[in-house]
Structure 1
Amino acid sequence: MSMLIGFREKSFLDKISILNEVATAKDPVELEALLDLFQNPLEDTSVDYMVVTALNGVLSADEQKTVELLSKEDGKLRILCIRVCGEFQFKSAVPVLMQMADEASDPDFLFEVLTSLSKIGGPESLELFRSNINNDDDLIVVMSIEMLAELKDEQSIPELKGFVERNNEEDRYEVCDLTTWKAVECLATIGTDEALDFIVSNLHHRNPTVRRVVTDSLTVLGSRAVPYLNKIISPDTAKDDMILAANVLGFIGDKEALDGLMDAIEKQYSTDSSVKYAIYEAIGRIGTMKGVISLIDGLEDDDELITVAVMTGLDGLVNPGVTKKLVEIVGQGGSKAGKILRAIVTAKAVNVFQALYAEGKIGRFLMNAVAASKDAEVHEAFRAKLVEIGGAEAEADMARLPEAVVAGGKRALAVDDSKSMLALYRSILTSGGYEPTVAENGQDAYSHIELSEEFDVIITDMNMPVMDGMEFVSKLRQTNGYADIPVIMVTTESEYSQQELARKTGVNDFITKPFTADQLKAKIAEYVS
């Protein structure tokens, strides 16, 4: 006997209790009464909601009846049944749903049907999703692209490439369309040679968000992406493309990338400092003993930023050979020795520090450089290493390090995905009297803004994973209280249009890598007295 006999005359609490039981029991005997309550509601929001819940429960246990009800004229009932078919993956509904999609003229209704088919899955609806990849409704297009990705449809590659190419045109590159975003992710999922070569060729897409999506997609692919990225590490490749390819290879960290990166250094594919920096940093991130050869060679470079990147990489690869080479170079004295000692401190290379600490005068010079730092984090890192080393000399050296460094009252936020760049920013900012806060990407940086932290200046990279510099600055400028804070963007970009785009998001000024500490301080001084 139905539990819903005389339901309309029951009290509110009894109605809720009965509907809960019906939803749990899923007894088909209750279906007709539930359909009557659904089509002729009681006008009580809570009860009517529970009727829908109970009807969902009963239909979920009766695939045949649910599919039959798809043909009903009642629009609300059809939508409910469409959703139940998708939620519970009723395969027998696929032919009916596909016919409904073919006949649909209302985009909202078509979206409901496609959503249900996407949840059911399977290749039967592939042609339908292909046919909707150029629908006028962007949500339908996105749904179709996501399904083509799930089905790894190689036939759709030309259409997917078209989305990315159109978004690179002169009148469209300033905004990343959601369809472009999904097209890149779909191509990465399909993963054929054609698809991955195309994605890699768009590492330097004119839109920064597309660049980030490309970077993130390739990083997620991991070792699968390495052969395609290796093609970009070439003497014929443009500077910006090689930098971005090296960055992604570093993020992936696969040793199969090492030969190409080491060749780029040995054969001097580029003399540009920014390119060399990106390659050295990638070699350091991969972190194998084979890469030590190139990193040691990098110590000969005059660029301080490259030395910091090299030291960051070497710190995880210290061995007797590395120690011997460092002792040899530093022992010669001069500007090169000073540059290396400063890099050890800036990079907080505590393992290198430990290896050199017992090397007589070299250890003393290195300890002097640590003590001279104005960065509290540097003191904390090396103090911890001195505790580990132990002994009377280490105790005496710990006493030389202040327990805390008094901040200069000014605060700066530095944003970069490079560990060595963040280390350099800390060094430059603390020496200039700033209290630095650092973040690895725009999202991390914006978390400080959400906490209403105050800064006198913000320095941000342009190209970063998770959230790029332009998106971060755009969000910053839309946040109350941050409209006027000076933002300096650090970039290697050679294309003028990128700076124009950045200015539109709210960037005040630019400084191009490579730069010296004095150049960055001078740039900051233009905006902060």
Structure 2
Amino acid sequence: MDKITILNDIATNRDAAELEGLLELFNNPLGDTSVDYMVVTALNGVLSTDEKNVVDLLESENTKLKTLCIRLSGEFGFKSAVPVLVRMAQGEKDSDLLFEEMTALSRIGDPEALSVFRANLDNGEDLVRALCIEMVGELGDTDSIPQLKKIIEINNEDGNYEVCDLTTWKAVEALAFIKSDEALSFIVENLHHRNPTVRRVVTDSLVDTGEDSLKFLKKVFSADANVDDMILSANVIGFIGEKSGLDILMDALDKGFIKDPNVKYAVYEALGRIGTMKGVIRLMDGLEEDDELIMIACVSGLDSLINPGVVKKLVELIGSGGSRAGKIIRAIVTAKALNIFEQLYAEEKIGRFVMNAVVASKDSEIHSAFRGKLLEIGGDNSTKDIERLPEETQDVLRKALAADDSKSMLALYRSILTGVGFEPCVAENGQVAYEFVEQGEEFDIIITDMNMPVMDGMELVSKLRNTPGFEDKPIIMVTTESESSQRDLAAKTGVTAFITKPFTPEQLRAKIAELV
């Protein structure tokens, strides 16, 4: 205990005069585990403020001492250690020591180490390779772009695309860090990489890059563009949320590039996410579409941009009657567009139509949301309408889990699932969906999108199939994917059935009835 106390004092005071004695004890351990551990702790404390001695000891013949000094160099950012560490790494034969040296150099982050990072971009050890890929990105090394592109291209080849390895993931992120025209252009070209995890990393990287990505995303839209690419590009533009992105989408609509219903939906969803008054007219145009999902997306976007012009147009469209009026009313209720509801509620006839649709809904969450808005509006009519809303029941329903990054899709799923007797849990990505499972929730059926941020549908399905109780649960994957390779990959992962967008509520109801 006396020895430990003395060593603890040395570690705390960092007395450089004790270095020689500590090195003697380090090189010749006493054999007592506790004391020898405190020797290392004290040595770390003393050397943490002694850059010169740390650098001098980097090439010690004692491997343990060398490793300790390598780690200290990285932890405390000793820049004078960089030339020595680079020289050591260039001739290093021991893979464990090489990883320690590269880790220290990465923590120091000095451009002087770029040459050794470049040299190890094809290292046989994945961790060393991934670390070097990450660093050429952080240091903005444009000379490494060809090698980074090659890594991603190889992962997209037949026989390789089913798995996203760590190096591919890091290569995408490194290109996004470099942020040159060549780097960003290449990332956009891989929006529809055949591996879903790579697609997710590409999407996340472009969103994080922000406005600098937009000029390359604009090039995706053309008369003969790939549908999947345009959908993913519209999604990214929406998530970036910049006003200049709105101009790209509106230009694509004006030029007639947006014909496919799935692309059209993605564009309207993105317009709603960007949420500017300039996009209001386009969102109003979307209410002329027959697709119910597009209407929900447009109503969701308009709800946050409500103004007298929007109210007037909605009153006109609903007042004209017919199937379109019914779809718009259902969209307002399904999307829980409470701001629009408040404005229309004041219009007696129109307000009655919308209120009747709220009452007819089987979704208790919708009843709760509109009950709250009616309480806020106040008055005799509101009180009477609150009394019309069904009381919440405690009946145990079958449960369903739905995951999608689109709020409009989640709203539609809620409407469909409650209509066929399911209590829905909805999640904006696979990670949130899986958290329900981790919390002990049980589900009779799962519905998931394929492409989502944070955790995509493929990864969610894979995790579910490896979770006790979910090995055989029916899983429906809803997708816009046109490539058969993607469906094959999803089927291998454990998807039970597919629904292709665009779909009607009746098609999804029929698929659910078939499986449950």
Shorter-chain TM-score range: over 0.9
Please state whether the residue corresponding to 1:171 is helix, strand or coil.
Answer: coil
> Structure 2 counterpart of 1:416, which letter?
D
Contact 1:407 1:433 in 2 (8 A): no
> In structure 1, how many angstroms separate the alpha carbons of the residues matched to 2:2 and 2:514?
73
Aligned residue pairs, count: 516
> In structure 2, how many angstroms separate the alpha carbons of the residues matched to 1:338 and 1:42?
85
Tell me the equivalent position of 2:324. Answer: 336
Match of 1:260 among 248, 252, 275: 248
**4+ residue segments displaced more than 6 Å:** none
Task: Kindly state the Cα deviation for residue 60 of structure 1 after the two structures are TM-superposed.
Answer: 1.4
Match of 1:291 among 279, 282, 287: 279
Match of 2:373 among 385, 398, 410: 385
> In structure 1, how many angstroms separate the alpha carbons of the residues matched to 2:462 and 2:325?
42
Please state whether the residue corresponding to 1:526 is helix, strand or coil.
Answer: helix
Match of 2:80 among 92, 96, 100: 92
Contact 2:499 2:508 in 1 (8 A): yes
Contact 1:408 1:434 in 2 (8 A): no
1:25-36 to 2 correspondence within 5 Å? 25-36=13-24
> In structure 1, how many angstroms separate the alpha carbons of the residues matched to 2:116 and 2:31?
39
Tell me the equivalent position of 2:493. Answer: 505
> Structure 2 counterpart of 1:132, which letter?
N
After alignment, is 440-449 or 143-152 more displaced? 143-152
> In structure 1, how many angstroms separate the alpha carbons of the residues matched to 2:484 and 2:218?
27
Match of 1:432 among 420, 444, 462: 420
> In structure 2, how many angstroms separate the alpha carbons of the residues matched to 1:136 and 1:486?
41
Contact 1:91 1:120 in 2 (8 A): yes
1:134 matched to 2:122 = yes
Please state whether the residue corresponding to 2:470 is helix, strand or coil.
Answer: coil
> In structure 2, how many angstroms separate the alpha carbons of the residues matched to 1:37 and 1:481?
56
Contact 1:375 1:405 in 2 (8 A): no
Please state whether the residue corresponding to 2:402 is helix, strand or coil.
Answer: strand
> Structure 2 counterpart of 1:200, which letter?
V
Task: Kindly state the Cα deviation for residue 43 of structure 1 after the two structures are TM-superposed.
Answer: 2.9
Task: Kindly state the Cα deviation for residue 271 of structure 1 after the two structures are TM-superposed.
Answer: 2.0
> Structure 1 counterpart of 2:226, which letter?
A
> In structure 2, how many angstroms separate the alpha carbons of the residues matched to 1:480 and 1:47?
46
Match of 1:76 among 43, 64, 73: 64
Tell me the equivalent position of 1:247. Answer: 235
Tell me the equivalent position of 2:294. Answer: 306
Contact 2:450 2:479 in 1 (8 A): yes
Q: TM-score, normalised by structure 2?
A: 0.98
Match of 2:435 among 447, 462, 465: 447
Contact 1:407 1:434 in 2 (8 A): no
Please state whether the residue corresponding to 2:53 is helix, strand or coil.
Answer: helix
Contact 2:82 2:110 in 1 (8 A): no
Task: Kindly state the Cα deviation for residue 236 of structure 1 after the two structures are TM-superposed.
Answer: 2.6
> Structure 2 counterpart of 1:229, which letter?
L
> In structure 2, how many angstroms separate the alpha carbons of the residues matched to 1:425 and 1:208?
23
Task: Kindly state the Cα deviation for residue 114 of structure 1 after the two structures are TM-superposed.
Answer: 1.0
> Structure 2 counterpart of 1:125, which letter?
A
Contact 2:71 2:104 in 1 (8 A): yes
Identify if the C-alpha distance between structure 1 residues 407 and 349 changes in structure 2 by more than 3 Å, giving closer, same or farther.
farther
1:141-180 to 2 correspondence within 5 Å? 141-180=129-168
Please state whether the residue corresponding to 1:411 is helix, strand or coil.
Answer: strand
Q: Deviations over 1:256-310 (max 9, x none)?
A: 0112212333333132111100000000100001101111111011111111111
Match of 2:508 among 479, 495, 520: 520
1:88-487 to 2 correspondence within 5 Å? 88-407=76-395, 409-487=397-475
> Structure 2 counterpart of 1:237, which letter?
A
After alignment, is 46-55 or 338-347 more displaced? 46-55
Q: Deviations over 1:67-89 (max 9, x none)?
A: 11122211111111111111112
Tell me the equivalent position of 1:62. Answer: 50
> In structure 2, how many angstroms separate the alpha carbons of the residues matched to 1:96 and 1:219?
39
Structure 2: gaps (5+ residues): none
1:494 matched to 2:502 = no
After alignment, is 242-251 or 261-270 more displaced? 261-270
> In structure 2, how many angstroms separate the alpha carbons of the residues matched to 1:336 and 1:492?
25
Contact 2:156 2:195 in 1 (8 A): yes
After alignment, is 230-239 or 253-262 more displaced? 230-239
Task: Kindly state the Cα deviation for residue 406 of structure 1 after the two structures are TM-superposed.
Answer: 5.0
After alignment, is 254-263 or 329-338 more displaced? 254-263
After alignment, is 464-473 or 215-224 more displaced? 215-224
Task: Kindly state the Cα deviation for residue 408 of structure 1 after the two structures are TM-superposed.
Answer: 5.8
> In structure 1, how many angstroms separate the alpha carbons of the residues matched to 2:318 and 2:203?
38
> Structure 2 counterpart of 1:64, which letter?
K
